[in-house]
Structure 1
């Protein structure tokens, strides 16, 4: 009897020791905050995106332009219990620019294709998702800009451009177009000069962007803020 009790105690102590060892191992596996972060600042947009940014700032002069905003930041799942599923699917999806009004309501999204272009599946996903939310989606190239009246009408409606603003905006956009062409010319000249100085080799391109973070533990897609939940939802 005593031997059985003694054996049971040994088994219990062994179990406790194993549990403590496992907990200590888990603590060691947790990433520690570094004293010095191995990171450097980088530009938020590239030169091609910056040209569209400048153009949008002139065309959508009365709106706000957000850069690379995830779609989960301004959408909400219809069924709250499915939030985690849709968040895991969409938390890496974003458009180059998101245009919104001063009330925080998104009125349109613009994508600028990268060096490798923009896949049709990517465009189809965003177009389908955003159009169902009533948000126009455009893909814009710096060398093939739409007329300002087209994009303002698409994003703001038929009354977006008053007749007395047409001449003023055309003049403003002409200046923007001239600046964009000048910027492209300077960039090509600089590349040619640099290539010549380096014996015909083109300068190396910036390193590709790394993967986006996994998201927030607490975010407005999973648990929308009370201060804006009702106002931004539409039937």
Structure 2
């Protein structure tokens, strides 16, 4: 029997066919969704650095400036803010879940004292900066945007974030500490470079030590053969490539 010649039968079967099609589509979509949620055997991901070169320089500087605090990196603001109305929590989380600062300074008890952003090559969009500044300021948290090429002084940022009013003596001590750290890093790099360049000296024969003899002759060429040996002359008394 031809269904096209019997419109009444076709009208009765059409809803059933549509229902079956809907059920089949739903089952297919459920299987596809489940497949996407399945843990892959091989993850298509690679590791990467958590901070770029510009951010690393500011990170290290903040670590020295806030030596008595913790410097958290790329922490979303939803980790240290709380909605006054709990019923609106999910809505605010949806709106602010992607808002974070490059660095967040917090006390040892986890209380945040301020946030620092490091702009990229294209800078920080004006709207994004306004949102962060408005939100953090109203929460009583300082918000600064800094670059590694134009860092503020330690006293300036600590005064803003911690409310400190350091004395002249404290400023001199901190400046000396900062210089000592920089000098130590430079000396370490210089020592590593010298060690690589002079590694062959570690295997020199014992006969080259001053006072040793080879046959009837005495070797006392201290100046020419042991000038670069760190056991004879202290490391910090010589200049290297990075000093």
- TM-score, structure 2 length as denominator? 0.62
Matched residue, 2:57: 51
Deviations 1:40-72 (A, max 9, x none): 110000001100011000000000000000111
Deviations 1:178-212 (A, max 9, x none): 7999xxxxxxxxxxxxxxxxxxxxxxxxxxxxxxx
For 2:20 and 2:105, the matched residues in 1 are separated by 58
Aligned-pair distance for 1:130? 0.1
The structure 1 segments of at least 4 consecutive aligned residues displaced by more than 6 Å after TM superposition are 177-181
Distance 1:133 1:179, change over 3 A: farther
Distance 1:94 1:22, change over 3 A: same
Q: Is the 1:60–1:152 Cα contact (8 Å) retained in structure 2?
A: yes
For 1:121 and 1:178, the matched residues in 2 are separated by 41
Within 5 Å, give how 1:109-128 maps onto structure 2: 109-128=115-134
Aligned-pair distance for 1:166? 2.2
Return the match for 1:93 from 92, 99, 105.
99
Distance 1:168 1:43, change over 3 A: same
Matched residue, 2:32: 28
Matched residue, 2:45: 39
- Return 75-84 or 168-177, whichever deviates more: 168-177
For 1:96 and 1:115, the matched residues in 2 are separated by 14
Q: Is the 1:55–1:176 Cα contact (8 Å) retained in structure 2?
A: no
For 1:24 and 1:119, the matched residues in 2 are separated by 43
For 1:180 and 1:130, the matched residues in 2 are separated by 35
Number of aligned positions between the proteins: 175
- TM-score, structure 1 length as denominator? 0.64
Aligned-pair distance for 1:81? 1.4
Matched residue, 1:167: 172
Matched residue, 2:231: none
Return the match for 1:65 from 51, 58, 71.
71
Distance 1:46 1:178, change over 3 A: farther
Aligned-pair distance for 1:164? 4.6
Larger Rg: 2
